[in-house]
Structure 1
């Protein structure tokens, strides 16, 4: 049984050790968010404002992050190309009709003319359905209104980044960028980028792809 002296003696308290605050993790630690790559303003110059989506609720969702689009001048390049093909078809049908003396060349010529005319009508809306997004580990590409396609290309799988442009493209300051991967089915071609955007995107993809391959 404790004595009165023992009962009056307070028990010394051990001071609690302060827990140091947790240090923030680096940006590349853990699971990155799907849209943690910084936006590049060069990729948004002279482009459309937003990606057009189908009205159906069952469409492929765009998700979060920054989506980049094609250059506005790409529509003019497509319209000029389609119009030139339409004129060639009509001229060829007229020449064949005069040569054979029968109107049957206008049948295939008329069908081709209708196809080219419909292509010219849907070109502005089709161009606005293209979009690409630079995520932490891959690049997402989408296109299409009626027939949608969305492809995610991992940076480490990229083998070649190719830029091409013809005389008409150079006149309007646009270029086409093509990504070649180990699997041919996952290759992506982005038409109608501005020249500066194509070069910036090429350099960015090559740099990130080399980093991903080094870390494998």
Structure 2
């Protein structure tokens, strides 16, 4: 067994297709984000169902009735995936970078070096504030590498923002 805890056999070694290393101490986000996302889904679904329902009532066309059924099925499927997707979010602070993971079907691991951070935002919309949540958004020079960590308590979001900002400044000074 090597010093990283993996055996030398190819089947036991880490693969690029396994983007969430077990050797990292992942911090979960708040499960209250599930409620925020379900409420957003409910609002969007309600609007779509009202529009489709009124159109169906006025026209009586069977396709609009089928669209109501499809919208309900998609809403149920999305509610199930929201629960699983929120549980997939996590972040880890390492010595030189921040790791952010998320995704179900397509797993995504973002690694943001502290030295590449330009600024860090903390935001909270009305629903997030109602559930005492905030989102930390990291901005880098490359827009594609920006990462966000939703579902944090405001105190943790502020702590993470301050720590990332301080680490980013320290690393940038060394360049």
Q: Distance in 1 between matches of 2:49 and 2:67?
A: 10
The yes-or-no answer on 1:86 pairing with 2:12 is no
Q: Distance in 1 between matches of 2:30 and 2:150?
A: 9
- Does the aligned pair in 2 maintain the 1:132–1:142 contact within 8 Å? yes
Aligned partner of residue 80 in structure 1, secondary structure: helix
- Does the aligned pair in 2 maintain the 1:89–1:113 contact within 8 Å? no
Superposed CA RMSD in Å reads 1.6
The yes-or-no answer on 1:156 pairing with 2:115 is yes
Deviations 1:119-175 (A, max 9, x none): 101211111111111011111111123211111100010012112211111010001
Deviations 1:39-77 (A, max 9, x none): xxxxxxxxxxxxxxxxxxx53342424211111211111
Deviations 1:21-52 (A, max 9, x none): xxxxxxxxxxxxxxxxxxxxxxxxxxxxxxxx
Aligned pair in 2 of structure 1 residues 167, 152: CA closer, same or farther (>3 Å)?
Answer: same
Which residue pairs with 2:170 in the alignment? 211
- Does the aligned pair in 2 maintain the 1:140–1:151 contact within 8 Å? yes
The yes-or-no answer on 1:187 pairing with 2:136 is no
Choose from 97, 104, 112 the match for 2:71: 112
Q: How does 1:3-152 map to 2 (within 5 A)?
A: 59-152=18-111
Q: Could you tell me which runs of 5 or more consecutive residues in structure 1 were left unpaired when the two chains were aligned.
A: 1-57
Structure 1 residue 187: Cα displacement? 0.8
Q: Which has the larger radius of gyration?
A: 1
Question: Taking structure 1 as the reference length, what is the TM-score of the superposition?
Answer: 0.68
Considering fraction of residues, name the structure with more helix.
2
Structure 1 residue 212: Cα displacement? 0.5
